[in-house]
Each structure stands twice: as C-alpha cells, then as structure tokens.
Amino acid sequence: MAPATSNKNNLFSPIALGDMTLANRIIMAPLTRNRAGDGNVPQDMNIEYYRQRAGAGLIVSEGSQISASGVGYPGTPGIHSNLQIEGWKRITHAVHKEGGRVFIQLWHTGRISHSSLQPRHILPVAPSALKAAGQAMTYQGLLDFETPHALTLDELPGIVDEYTTAAQNAKKAGFDGVELHAANGYLLDQFLRDGTNRREDSYGGDIANRMRLLVEVIEKCIEVWGSHRVGVRVSPENSFNDIKDSQPQQTFNAVAKKLSDYPLAYLHVLEGDMMTGKREVDYVALRNCFSGLYMANNGYDLETGNRAIEQSHADMVAFGKLFIANPDLPDRFAKNLPLNKPDHATFYGGDEKGYTDYPKYAGG
C-alpha cells in the first residue's frame, strides 16, 4: 500500500528503478511526432531531438510499432526491422553519452489503423469487430476507420510473440527498458476496456479476462528484460480514439492490483480525459492499489508535480508538451526559468522546425 503521509522527495530527487538510479523524477513522456524516415526507421534529426532532452530522469520514447501490422500512422518508428534497430541504436548511444536513460514504448495500434497502412492491405485487428468513430491518418489523408478483424484465440499467441520479439530488439538497440502502451485506445487498451472488448471467451467478459493479454505480454517482457525494466502505461478515463469503460475506477483499480504481482519499473497513468478535461477517477485510490512506483501524467507543472511527489501521490511525473518546447526542462524547473511555448502546428510531421530548434535558455 502506498504511503499517505508527505515525504521530503520532490521532482529533483534521485529514484531507483531496481538496480538503475534516475538522476531526477522529471520524465519525458512518450510523444508521437511523425518524423521517422523511410521504412519507419529513426533518422538523424531524431537523434538530435532525443539527445537534447537527455537531462530528463528518464526518456520514454515515442510509441514504436512492434510489427508491421501494429502501424497506425505515417512516419512513426518501429522496432521490428534490422534497420529500425540500427536507427534506434544511434539514438540510445547519443542519450547515454549525455548521461541520460531511455525506455522505448512498445506500441500496437489495433483498430486505430487502416488497411492502407497494413501489410497486404488487410484489415487492422482488435479484440472485437467494432469500428471506431472518426478517421485514420494515412498517406492518402484522413480516411474513415474500418471495421477491424476480431483476433481469434489461435491468433493471440502471435501478438504476444510480436511483443516478445520487440522487447528483444529493444535490448539489441541499447535501450534501458521498455514501456508497454496499454493506453489511449490502442490494442492493449482495447482489450482492457469493456467499450471495445465484447469477447465471450477467456479474453473477454470480466476484468480478469480482459487484462489477460496484457498480463501475458508483461510476463514475456519480464523474461526478456528481468526485474524493474518493464513499465506499463494506462489511461483509465481517456476517451481518445473512441474508447470508454463502464466502470473505469473498478477496472483500473483491479489492473493496478494485478500489476502489483510483477516487479515492474513503474505504472504510468494518464490521469483524466485528454479530450474533455474531465477527471472523475480517484487517482489517489488507484495509486494506492499499486505497490510499485507510480508515474503521474497529464497537465502537471513544476508546482503540481512537486506537490504530487511530496504528498506521495506519485513517485515520478511525466511531462509532454513542456518537453516538446523545452529541451532543457529539468534545468529550467531547477532554476525556475521561463518556459518556451509549444508550437502546436508542428507537433505532428515535418522537419526540424518545431522539433529540434527550440532554444535552451539563453542565460542558462
């Protein structure tokens, strides 16, 4: 059970993840930027982008597809080909040279894809054949989502194998660990939430069944990485990608309790709904269901991040937009310096503009 009393730690306190110590608790959140090169291979400007932000206690990379069928957007990197592994290897080397630590986020988008992005133009996969509302981002522009192929029982071991191989590839690429993306309406989240999982077999129905695929993936990734090098990200009430759960508090309290059975690096929680701003889940209660390290995310700043750690509501805090615009965010926080404002128009796709050209503080 997590402590309820205050402590003397703050964003600048070191923290141990198993046998690895992070210099601070200011985490760079995974951020889709759509700037991978041909073949979804990380390229030169990606190296500079991550190198600039190595002052984070931990960088969690942008979501990276575990397989060609996991792709859901143009220009997003993978970790399933030799060229992708070599591209990431250059990034991890650059981050480590600056004294930083970096996990890769393993990603399968599930139904949030389109046949035009899939090998042989087959349908995307999902727990159930339920079409998402909205449109997919494709190389041909925005196209309506399609009704996905519901994964069969004999296909699910193949998904687990893809995650296992991706975890092995991440080791080859020099990462310090992996984060499993079980949030924001993507495949593992689609299994967790009852709005997208209507299965009537051992992977559907009650929450013990709905979390079965995630648990199987966790167990395999821990076999690859060992203790405290596998993190998990969830988003209990985020409605992004047309997803919902009828009982998010109960569902994700149960997920947190189950994940306490494993020597995870952390549980990374996107708190609230990015789309509406609603925040109805009791995240302190959820945090108290998890026996390991809790990483909070969504809307935090220096003051609220410090308060969350001081009050033991979180052990680490992940920052997204602030890290996009401020490559030297930990230094700016430490010295209480003014922050650059992010340019929303350059978040997704493009070149170095709005990517590697945000300045460090001139007087820093």
Q: Across residues 123-131, what is the average pLDDT? A: 98
> Model confidence at 6, in pLDDT bands (50, 70, 90)?
low
For 135-145, what is each residue's pLDDT tens digit? 999 999 999 99
49, 50, 163, 186: which one is catalytic?
186
Residue 60, token pair as written in the block: 């969690």
Buried residues in 119-150 as b, exposed as e (16+ CB within 10 A) = eeeebbbbbbebebeeebbbeeeeeebbebbb
Using CA atoms, how far residue 190 sits from 43, 103, 220, 244, in Å, is: 31, 23, 20, 9
For 197-230, what is each residue's pLDDT tens digit? 999 999 999 999 999 999 999 999 999 999 999 9
Domain map (residue ranges) of the chain:
15-346
Question: What is the predicted pLDDT for the residue at 7?
Answer: 77
Cα 280–243–158 angle (5° rounding)?
A: 130
Q: Nearest to residue 157, comparing CAs of 147, 146, 165, 149?
A: 165
Question: What is the predicted pLDDT for the residue at 3?
Answer: 43
Interatomic CA distance for residues 317 and 295, integer angstroms: 5
Question: What is the predicted pLDDT for the residue at 202?
Answer: 98
Q: Across residues 327-344, what is the average pLDDT? A: 97
Cα 269 to chain centroid distance, Å, stands at 9
DSSP 172-217: HTT-SEEEEE--TTSHHHHHHSTTT----STTSSSHHHHTHHHHHH
Q: Active-site residue 186, yes or no?
A: yes
Residue 332 burial by Cβ neighbours in a 10 Å radius (0-12, 13-18, 19+): buried
For 156-168, what is each residue's pLDDT tens digit? 999 999 999 999 9
Q: Across residues 146-175, what is the average pLDDT? A: 98
Q: Across residues 102-116, what is the average pLDDT? A: 98
Residue 26, token pair as written in the block: 């200011």
H helices within the chain, ranges in order?
A: 44-52, 82-97, 156-172, 187-192, 207-210, 212-225, 248-259, 283-288, 302-310, 321-325, 329-335
For 280-329, what is each residue's pLDDT tens digit? 999 999 999 999 999 999 999 999 999 999 999 999 999 999 999 999 99
Three-class DSSP labels, 32-83:
CCCCCCHHHCCCHHHHHHHHHCCCCCEEEEEEEECCHHHCCCCCCCECCCHH
* 15-346: CATH topology: TIM Barrel (3.20.20)
